[in-house]
Structure 1
Amino acid sequence: MAGHSKFKNIMHRKGAQDKKRSAMFSKLSREITVAAKMGAPDPDMNPRLRAAVLAAKAQSMPKDNIQRAIDKSSAGEGDNYEEIRYEGFGPGGVSLIVEALTDNRNRTATNVRTIFSKNGGNLGASGSVSHGFDRLGLITYPASAGDADAVLEAAIEAGAEDVQSGEDGHEIWTAQEDLHEVAKAIEKTLGEPESTKLAWRPQNQIDVGEAEAGTLLKLIDQLDDDDDVQTVWGNYEVSDAVMEKLG
């Protein structure tokens, strides 16, 4: 994972999902259906749905799959899911936020708690770690969208708050309430983004050494493998050297 960006290091490593495309598509479909149920089934009229569709496209999810997920909301099909956030601690004192969509709160809570306890972590109470994160909007673009100066200029003109550019791409941060307006404005200059979402950005990073990094990444992978878990965020930083040693 050499050359990973800071953002990719605080979110689950999506490369691990490439071998599990069926499960990944299931999670993306669930988010699309939930988003469509909560608002209009038209992505242009529903910011959350638009973000979900963009995420699906970024993972090469077929258009037919995307449309079927939207149609489920209109037909009243599928289970009723609720959004739940879990907070806990991983190896090395790392803080983790787990976002889930579930139709069975007890099942999900049990699974998440078990995964934490089996991998050197502890599930905490609501609010136990989120105070160390900022809830912000995040828009991502590939490096091919332009050089750092061009992206910065477009982001500033659109009203973004911060931009981080690297060899992996560009991360544009906004106030959460401004996310979709900023995204629309930037799209006129840079084109369609890779993703548009609400994110948890840590206020401080914890550098995790080789001794604990393997267990931490196993914890995150197992959380992400759970059918109900949508996203895992954390305040950890693992160096390229350590990642290379872990293989």
Structure 2
Amino acid sequence: MAGHSKYKNIMYRKGAQDKKRSAMFSKLSREITVAAKMGLPDPEANARLRAAVIAARAQSMPKDNIQRAIEKASGNDAENYEEIRYEGFGPGGVALIVEALTDNRNRTATNVRTIFSKNGGNLGASGSVSHGFERLGLIEYPASTGDADKVLEAAIEGGAEDVESDDDGHRVWTSVDDLHSVAKALEGMLGEAESIKLAWKPQTEVEVRGEDAQQLLKLMDSLDEDDDVQTVWGNEKVPDEELEKLG
């Protein structure tokens, strides 16, 4: 149960996202409201809501904003959001999965399709790329939590399936069903996680360089910037030297 995987490209995208904090807060609020509406408005009794609140805290979202988003779920003015998944290909043949929460399916579909086409990608049919990914639970801890051995030992004891550790932090993978039981076990041993979520893990990676890498990151950034898009998953592997050129 070991593993090393460089996530520099994800960190590069996170850096770009941090500059758009208000848009990020809006997406976090939407997920909190949807999670609270689908279950109980209590994070301790609603696993998805708890994960959403943890993600919001990790981005330093004010407590008042989090509470308002929870309360909005029970209000008469609460929007009805629909969860939609889009699949397609980016430059260099990279497979992409885009998850959205929308109150207007036509608007979101048009926007996502336009972003793909303008940035060297193409949108595919449902199932066209997801067969190359595993649907898993993902628990993330910062590097400051401890060394790889400490996190690995806790993960094994907590019932996780795999762990990846590098200079950027630790990623603990679980089955979908075990996500929140493992997260709870790890919290007792390592403290509160940076994030807890369902994720799409690629079974193989595609290395991209040069113009393909530049255009791919532009495509993924453009998707991240769309108000309806919550998460973007890909099987890209951008070498460090390429990221340094782009940075």
Matched position secondary structure for 1:177: coil
What is the correspondence of 1:94-105 to structure 2 with a 5 Å cutoff?
94-105=94-105
Tell me by how many angstroms 1:11 deviates.
8.4
Tell me by how many angstroms 1:6 deviates.
3.2
Residues 136 and 198 of structure 2 are in contact (CA less than 8 Å); yes or no, is this contact kept in structure 1? yes
1:11 to 1:35, Cα distance in 2 relative to 1, 3 A: farther
Residues 7 and 168 of structure 2 are in contact (CA less than 8 Å); yes or no, is this contact kept in structure 1? no
Tell me by how many angstroms 1:135 deviates.
0.3
Runs of 4+ in 1 over 6 A off after TM superposition: none
Deviations 1:155-204 (A, max 9, x none): 00000000011111100000011000000011100000000000000000
What is the correspondence of 1:48-127 to structure 2 with a 5 Å cutoff?
48-127=48-127
Cα root mean square deviation, aligned: 1.2
Tell me by how many angstroms 1:12 deviates.
8.0
Deviations 1:200-223 (A, max 9, x none): 000000010112111000000111
CA distance in 2, matches of 1:238, 1:25: 28
Deviates more, 1:73-82 or 1:145-154: 73-82
Equivalent residue, structure 2, for 1:37: 37
CA distance in 1, matches of 2:50, 2:8: 22
Equivalent residue, structure 2, for 1:179: 179
Residues 9 and 243 of structure 2 are in contact (CA less than 8 Å); yes or no, is this contact kept in structure 1? no
Residues 224 and 230 of structure 2 are in contact (CA less than 8 Å); yes or no, is this contact kept in structure 1? yes
Does 1:221 pair with 2:217?
no
Using structure 1 for the length normalisation, give the TM-score: 0.96
Does 1:146 pair with 2:152?
no
Structure 1: 5+ residue runs without aligned partners?
Answer: none
Structure 2: 5+ residue runs without aligned partners?
Answer: none
Residues 11 and 232 of structure 1 are in contact (CA less than 8 Å); yes or no, is this contact kept in structure 2? no
1:159 to 1:76, Cα distance in 2 relative to 1, 3 A: farther
Matched position secondary structure for 1:155: helix
1:154 to 1:143, Cα distance in 2 relative to 1, 3 A: same
Deviations 1:33-90 (A, max 9, x none): 0000000000000000000000000100000000000010122432100000000000
CA distance in 1, matches of 2:10, 2:134: 13
Equivalent residue, structure 1, for 2:132: 132
Equivalent residue, structure 1, for 2:230: 230
CA distance in 1, matches of 2:51, 2:233: 18
Query: Identity percentage over the alignment?
Result: 77
Equivalent residue, structure 1, for 2:15: 15
